[in-house]
Each structure stands twice: as structure tokens, then as C-alpha cells.
Amino acid sequence: MKKDIKKLTDQFFAVCPIGLEEILAEELQNMKISEFEIRKGGIQFSCSNFKAIELILTTRIASRVYKQLFQFEIQNEKNLYHHAKDIKWKSILTPDETFKITTIQNRSQDGKKWSGFKSPLFLSQTLKDALVDNLRNKYGERPSVDKDRPDVSIILHVEPVNDPESKKEMATISVDMCGFSLHERAYRKSRTFEAPLKENLAAGIIKLTGYTDQVLIDPMCGSGTLLIEAMLIRANIPASFMRLRDYHPDHREWDFQRHTYLTKDKYLLRDLDKLIKDLQKQVDIGFTNLKKLKNQFIANDNSNDSIKQFILNLRELGLVSIVQIENQDAADFAPSNIENAIVVTNPPYGDRLGDKKELEELYYKFGENLKANYKTCDAYILAGEKEHLKKISLRTSKKFVLYNGGIETRLAKYELY
């Protein structure tokens, strides 16, 4: 392998929704991962393979975890090909495995320059050619591409080096240890519901409210993602509980199960087996405790369809009986016995023409309702439009900017007294 290709060990990158980096950092700290650097939309960190796998199995916030393998500087696609052709690809995949390559272009680490390559697709294509040529030379046959669920998902990151005079970019080659976005917890039965929050964003919002064991109310609950994520947090149930329950070593849930750093390390396999068993126990204890809770979760929505979707999700989890569910206008909804409760909700964004006035009215009336009927509570509203929040005549005590996919949203906090 060329000398200027750096082989990386114990280096990882966890991706998360923009705005939740600090919450993800707390998760790392709780796991005693202390070497990390916060970037926009994720965290670069260093730890053992075991710790990285533990993060994947337990994180509520990360959407992916990449294991970084090789790094080198490039100036053009030709450089990329020549360096990449020299990599020991056989340590990553064999000709009988399928693969996919995704290129992600970033800003330089000092934030001053964007990656100058015109086409991420062309970079992926170039890297694919180098990989295929390398393995064909070695084995006489090549692995094939599978865009949907490949055995190995390879990520190429390119970002300009910090030097403003240099045209060079740093190329990092990683494998996706997950194989799907970790926000897909798999408890959602409601495929038809229109605007659910991603589960990791919902969990992050609950964390930002400082929720521990207060009564939790969502007056516009939709399919109930905020409440369900709060239940999991309350009962300390790992976010990947559905996959942990289904786990079998021969069946792939996460991509790391197929990667050689795991399959060739009998000690890591043994430790993983123990970790899975411990987490499975934690899931069982969590659900047993959760089912004993009464009057702790209150949901409301004015749409019958939304409530049906929420109930479908709760049924999947065996948790229908622990939620009080109402079907009223949020402008009037006023539950009793809610002292010091947390109200958290995500009203509609409004894409339809004519929505604007209707939504402004909803925000205004909901704000008035909070003022009158939710004294002693803290309320958190996630809004897609700044203008909507202005209709609430309450003083904002905190604001967080969060990204829901590509949409910039604001989470506003109101202290009601």
C-alpha cells in the first residue's frame, strides 16, 4: 500500500440531526468514550470496536456510525483512482459480496472552504473502478453492486484541507456499521401517517426538555413519536429494542455483523454476545416497569386517523393501556392533575395553500390555552415557521434550532406560571 495512505484504527464518525450534537456527545460521555470532537451534524470519535457497536445498539440520537479505514489526500479523480487501487480491499470485502459506494462532500474542518469536486457520483464511480480493478487482479472476479441492501456499504468523504493555499482535499474511506438509518426503530406500524418526526429527532427533543419522570403531555400527538420515545427514555429501554428482541447471530440486523473486524475476532464476538444478552434483559425489565405506570402520559389529537395510527404503534409495543388518549381541539384541550408536567408538541407545518391563516390561529389559540390551563408546566413547541411562534403571546425562555431532515425548525420553551 502507498506510504501516503494512512490506515486508521479505532476512528469512527457518528451522524446525527443538526442541533443534537451536544446530546449525542452526552451519550458518548455516559459510555465513557472521552476522545471525541463535535462537528456539524455529527461527532468524530475514537474508541474500541466494541464501544462503537455498543453505541449503535443503544444510541437514541445517532442515525449512522461509520468506521473509518483509510485516509489520503487527493487533488483530482485520477489521484483518487491511483490511491484507492492500492488499498487492501480484501480486508473489507470479497468478490462474492455485494457493495455500494456513497460519496459525501463536506466543508473543510475550519469551515472556510467547500469541497471543490463537481460530481459526487463521478467520485463514487472512480472509487468503484479502483475497488473492482484491485479485486479482479487479486481473485480474477469482481464483487457486484447492490444499491438497496449491499453486504458492505462504503462511504467516501471528501473535504478540503485547512490550508487556504492548497487545492488538496482529504479523502476518507469508511464502512457504514449500521446499514440503515438508526432512527428506524421498527415500532412504527403507521406507514400512512403523513408527517411523523424521525424517532431520533423526537428522542433528542425529549432529552432537550430535561424529561426524567414528570407527567408528559402531547396535545397534537399525531402518531405519537414524542410520547413513545419519552416512554423508552423513562424506562431506560435501548432504542434498538425491536432488533435486539429479534437478534440471531446468523441473521443480519446491523451491517457490522458481516464485517471482518467482528467476524474474525472471537473475543469481540464473545463480548458482543454478552452485551446483547444484557441489553435484552434491560429491554424486558424496562417494558415490565413501563406497563406499571399510570397517569404519566397524556395524548391528544383532533384527527381520528392520527389517533388510530398512534394506537396501532402502541399496540405493537403492548403499551395502549398506559396512555390517556383524547380527541379534542388542542385550543381547548385541558387535562387535569398536570402540575409541573412537561408539554411537548409538534403542530402541523402547513404546506397547503390557505394553511397560513389557519395555522397562525391555531398557534395563537393554543398559546392562550397554555397560559390559562397549564400553569406550573414547561411547554416545548417544535415549529417549522418562525412566524407561527410569534403568534404565541408567551415569553420564550429558550430556543433551539433543529433540523428535521432538510427543514430548519425551532423548538421554543415556555415556562408557565
Ligand X SMILES: C[S@@+](CC[C@H](N)C(=O)[O-])C[C@H]1O[C@@H](n2cnc3c(N)ncnc32)[C@H](O)[C@@H]1O
3-class SS at 189? Answer: coil
Residue 67's beta-bridge partner residues? 12, 175
Site for ligand X in 191-230 (CB under 6 A): 193, 195-197, 220, 222-223, 225-226
> Measured between alpha carbons, how far is residue 337 from residues 96, 110, 279, 296, 320 in Å?
62, 51, 35, 10, 20
**Site for ligand X, residues 392 to 411, rule: CB under 6 A:** none
Told to check if 302 binds ligand X by CB under 6 A, we report yes
Q: Which is nearer to ligand X, 307 or 377 (CB)?
A: 307
Span near ligand X by CB under 6 A; candidates 152-160, 161-169, 288-296, 302-310: 302-310
Which of 180/349 has CB closer to ligand X?
349
Query: Nearer Cβ to ligand X, position 10 or 305?
Result: 305
Q: According to CB under 6 A, which residues from 316 to 335 bind ligand X?
A: 329-331
CB of 202 to ligand X, least distance (A): 6
Residue placing its CB nearer to ligand X in the complex, 257 or 346: 346
CB of 327 to ligand X, least distance (A): 9
Q: Does 370 bind ligand X (CB under 6 A)?
A: no
Is the CB of residue 215 less than 8 Å from the CB of residue 298?
A: yes
The nearest distance, CB 98 to ligand X, in angstroms, is 34
Within residues 262-301, the interface with ligand X by CB under 6 A covers 301
Between 126 and 306, CB nearer to ligand X? 306
Residue from 79, 303, 369, 373 in contact with ligand X (CB under 6 A) = 303
Which lies closer to ligand X via its Cβ, residue 57 or residue 220? 220
Q: Which stretch binds ligand X (CB under 6 A): 82-90, 152-160, 190-198, 259-267?
A: 190-198
Among 208-216, 282-290, 340-348, 398-406, which window interacts with ligand X (CB under 6 A)? 340-348
Q: Which position among 143, 179, 238, 347 is part of the footprint of ligand X (CB under 6 A)?
A: 347
Given the complex with ligand X, which of 38 and 334 has the nearer CB atom?
334
Our CB check for ligand X shows the closer of 227 and 262 to be 227
Candidate list 182, 362, 381, 389; residue touching ligand X; CB under 6 A = 362
Nearer to ligand X, 195 or 407 (CB): 195
Measure CA 323 to chain center. Answer: 25
In the complex, the smallest distance separating the C-beta of residue 35 from ligand X, rounded to whole angstroms, is 34
Q: Pick the closer one to ligand X by CB: 33 or 317.
A: 317
Give the nearest distance from C-beta 300 to ligand X in angstroms. 6
Question: Residue 205: helix, strand or coil by DSSP?
Answer: helix
- How many residues at the interface with ligand X, by CB under 6 A? 20
- Residue 62: helix, strand or coil by DSSP? coil
Task: Answer for the pair 143, 93: CB distance below 8 angstroms, yes or no.
Answer: yes
According to the binding rule CB under 6 A, does residue 306 interact with ligand X?
A: yes
Q: Which residues contact 27 (CB under 8 A, 6 or more apart)?
A: 55, 58, 59, 60, 61, 62
Map residue 45 onto helix, strand or coil. Answer: strand
- The 10 Å Cβ neighbour count of residue 379 is 25
Q: What is the DSSP letter of 248?
A: B
Q: Is 102 in the site for ligand X (CB under 6 A)?
A: no
CB of 269 to ligand X, least distance (A): 37
Contacts of 398 (CB under 8 A, 6+ apart): 412, 413
Nearest to 240 by CA among 44, 46, 63: 63
Contacts 24+ apart (CB under 8 A), 326-332: 326/298, 326/299, 326/300, 327/300, 327/301, 327/302, 328/300, 328/302, 329/302, 330/219, 330/220, 330/300, 330/302, 330/362, 330/366, 330/369, 331/362, 331/365, 331/366, 331/368, 331/369, 332/369
Is 158 among the residues that bind ligand X (CB under 6 A)? no
CA distance 172 to 87: 12
- Exposed/middle/buried for 191, CB within 10 Å: 0-12, 13-18, 19+? exposed
Among 66, 91, 121, 93, which residue's Cα sits nearest to residue 5?
Answer: 91
Site residues, ligand X (CB under 6 A) = 193, 195-197, 220, 222-223, 225-226, 301-303, 306, 329-331, 346-348, 362
